Amino acid sequence: MPPAGEFHCQYAAEWTATKLCWNVAVDRQEQAELLDLAGQCPTTEVRFGPAQW
């Protein structure tokens, strides 16, 4: 996570989008942390598309 708290929601959204885009798995701990962050960021949207080769 970035040290500046005001960027946590943006970072979490971009990290999640990257994982989804590239179909990268998450373990239970990472999933729990991302879901916790999502709960703290109700107006943040995760936008992604499939990876383009």
pLDDT in tens, 25-40: 999 999 999 999 999 9
Look up the domain containing 12 and give its range: 5-40
pLDDT of residue 5 exceeding 90: no
pLDDT value for 18: 94
Domain presence at residue 53: no
Q: Is residue 52 part of a domain?
A: no
Q: Confirm whether 17 is domain-assigned.
A: yes
- With respect to residue 27, please indicate whether it lies within any of the assigned structural domains: yes
47 within a domain of the structure (yes/no): no
The pair of three-digit structure tokens given for residue 43, joined into one six-digit string? 């107006």
Number of domains in the chain: 1
Burial environment of residue 12 by CB neighbours within 10 A (0 to 12, 13 to 18, 19 or more): buried
In a domain, 46, yes or no: no
In a domain, residue 12? The reply is: yes
Read off the pTM.
Answer: 0.82
Residue 51, pLDDT score: 85
